Amino acid sequence: MAVWQDLHHLPAYGLLQQLALRPYDLTAPGAISEARLATYTCRQAGFELLYAMQRVDEAVIAALQQLADQSGAVERFLEMKKGAVANRLDGYESENRQVLHTACRDIFSDQPLCPAATVQAREQLAKLQEFLAELDSAQLTNEQGELFTDLLHIGIGGSDLGPRALYLALAAYRLPGRRVHFISNVDPDDAAAVLEGLDLSRTLVNVVSKSGITLETLTNEELVRAAFQRAGLDPARHFVAVTGQGSPMDNPARYLRSFYMFDYIGGRYSVTSMVGAVMLSFALGYDAFRQVLQGAQAFDVAAEERDIRRNIPLLLALLGIWNRNFLGCDSLAILPYSQALVRFTAHLQQCDMESNGKSITRQGATVSYPTGPIVWGEPGTNGQHAFYQLIHQGTTVVPVEFIGFRRSQFGEDMLIQGTTSHEKLLANLLAQSLALAVGRPHDNPNRFFAGNRPSSVLLADCLTPYTMGGLLALYEAKIVFQGFIWNINSFDQEGVQLGKLLATRLLQHFGGLRLGDANSGLQDSLGWSLLKAAGLIDIKIANKAEQE
C-alpha cells in the first residue's frame, strides 16, 4: 500500500488546477450532443450514470483517472474490505478500528474478504430468521395470543436515518398487516405523537444503541416503557434490542432478544447490519431484506473496478472532487425524483457530512484544501417549486445529483393530457439537468439563465429492495473514496462529542436544582449563565445559589 499523501501532493492535482482554469463550456454551440451523451454514460450493476452535463472533457477525465490511481483509492477500498484498520489517525489517539460494513453483504460469497466478520453477520442473520419464524408462526405472540402487527424503532443518528430512509423507500413492498414507526428525537413531543393511537398490545419495540448508553435513545426507551406499563403490559414481552455484545442492553431480563452490532461498523454505515435488518425484515420479510443485501453486495464488488469510466461510485466521487476542489463549489444537492426516497437525502447528508466533514488529515495536520461539501436536497418535483430558483439563477453554483427510475413502484398511473404521471416526473428530471447545463440567453435579464451548472443523472429501472441496496452501497462507496483521496478519516465523528459533553454539564444544573441542591452544578460556568439567559431556570433560585 502506498504512503498516504495529501490531495495537493498528488501529481495530477496541478494538472487539474490548470484544466479548471478553462472548464468545459456546456453552453457553447453543440456542446451537448448525442455523441457526448453516449460517451459520458457509465453503466454498472443495474444503474446508469449520465454525466454529460458535468463540466468535464477527455482531458479532465484522464486527469481524474490519474488522481484515482495516484491516491490508491481502489486499493485502499479493497484493504478496508479485507479488514485493514481504516478508522485511525497516525500518531494520535483514535478509535483505531476496522471498517467492515461491507462484510454484512459478503454473506453470499464462498470466499468472503474478511471471513471472521462475515461469520458474525451470518450468525446474527440466523438469529433474526429464527425470531421472524416465531413471529410468523404465532409461536411468539402477545399476552392475548395475538400476532404483532406493529414495530416501534427507537434510535438516533445512524440508528434512525438510514433504517427510516429504507423503510420509507420500500413501503410498496411491505408485508400485509405490518407497520413500522420511528422515534428518534429526544423531544418528548416526538414520542407522544408516535405513541398516540398505537395499539401497544400488538406492538414490538426495537431499541437500537451500540453502546447501550445513548442518552436520547435510553430516554425515549423509558418513555415508551412507561407507556406500556400504564397500559398494563409487561415491556419485557415486547422489547428487543440491537446493541453491542455485553452492553447494558444485552439483558434477557429486559428484552425478548438481543441482536448484536459490532464496533467495526459505524452508525451511518450500519443499515445493512442488525441496525436495519430487524426492522426491515419485520416490515418486508426476510427474503426482501436479503435482496437489499444482494443489491448492496453488487456495488461493493463493482466499486473494485479501477477504470473510473466503469465504476459509478468512483466516478461520482471524482466528479464531486472536481466540482469541490477545482471548480470551487461548496454545496451538493441530491435530488431524487421518487417520493419513496423522501428521507434518503437526509441519510446521505449524515453519511457524507459526518464522514467527510473533517479539517485534519490522517496524520493530524490541518488540511489545506476543501473537503466534504454541504449536502442537502428534497424529492422532485416538489423541490422545483421551492429551492430550484437558487440553483438555476442564484449567485452560488450548486452541483446536483439527480436520481430517477424508469418505472414506478406501484405501477398505478394514467394518461392525463396525453402522458402518464411517471412520464411527467422523468421529463421534469431530464429537463432540469439540461436547463442547468445549457441555460438560456435572453434580453430580459430576469429571464436569463447562465447555464454551466453541473449535474449528473443516476437512473435505474425501478426502486426495488435489490435496487435500494445497490443505491445505498453506491453512495457509501462514493463517500469512502472521497475520504481516501482527501486523506482524511471518514469513519470517526469527534465533531459531535463536545456538544454532548456540554449538554451533560447543563443537565447537571437542571438535576441539581430539581433536587434542591443548588450547588450540585458548576455555578461559575458559562453553562449556568446560559441557562439563566435563556430563562430555563428561575432567576431567584439561580441568584440565591450564587450567593450561597
Closest Cα partner for 188 from 157, 221, 159?
Answer: 221
Dihedral sign, Cα of residue 524, residue 530, residue 536, residue 542: positive
Taking residues 422-449, report their average pLDDT. Answer: 97
Nearest to 69 by CA among 22, 18, 13: 13
Q: What is the mean pLDDT of the chain?
A: 94
Higher pLDDT, 308 or 535: 308
The mean pLDDT of 148-161, rounded to a whole number, is: 97
Over residues 449-466, the mean pLDDT reads 98
pLDDT of residue 508: 79
- Triad 479, 346, 95: Cα angle to 5°: 50
In the predicted model, what is the mean pLDDT of residues 431-443? 98
End-to-end CA distance of the chain: 63
Averaged pLDDT for residues 252-268 = 96
C-alpha cell at 338: 421518487
State the sign of the Cα–Cα–Cα–Cα dihedral 255, 259, 261, 262.
Answer: positive
Which residues participate in catalysis according to the annotation?
354, 385, 500
Beta-strand ranges (E) seen in 138-248 are 150-154, 179-183, 203-209, 239-243
DSSP states of 113-128: SSHHHHHHHHHHHHHH
Total-model pTM? 0.95
| Residue 167, burial from CB neighbour count under 10 angstroms (0-12, 13-18, 19+) | buried
pLDDT at site 87: 96
Q: Determine the average pLDDT of the residues in 138-155.
A: 97
What pLDDT score does 154 carry? 98
What would the mean pLDDT of 230-242 be, rounded to a whole number? 97
pLDDT one-digit tens code per residue, 170-198: 999 999 999 999 999 999 999 999 999 89
For the segment 138-165, the average pLDDT, to the nearest whole number, is 97
Taking only the tens place, the pLDDT of each residue in 105-135 is: 999 999 999 999 999 999 999 999 999 999 9
pLDDT digit string (tens) for 495-546?
888 888 888 877 877 776 666 655 555 555 677 677 777 787 765 455 555 4
Return the amino acid letter for 463.
L
Q: What is the dihedral of CA 163, 169, 170, 171, to 10 degrees?
A: 100
Distance of CA 259 to CAs 37, 249, 456, 532, Å? 47, 10, 39, 43
Task: In whole angstroms, give the CA distance from residue 454 to residue 361.
Answer: 28
Domains identified in the chain and CATH numbers: 36-91+305-492 (3.40.50.10490), 101-294 (3.40.50.10490), 495-547 (no CATH)
More confident residue, 521 or 450: 450
pLDDT of res. 531: 76
Q: Is the pLDDT of residue 15 over 80?
A: yes
Please say whether the beta carbons of 500 and 217 come within 8 A.
Answer: no
Grid cell listed for 246 = 455485553
Q: Which residues pair with 87 in a beta bridge?
A: 97
Cell digits of residue 323: 466540482
Compute the average pLDDT of residues 71-84: 98
Higher pLDDT, 343 or 525: 343
From 198, 222, 209, 221, select the one nearest 148 (Cα to Cα). 198
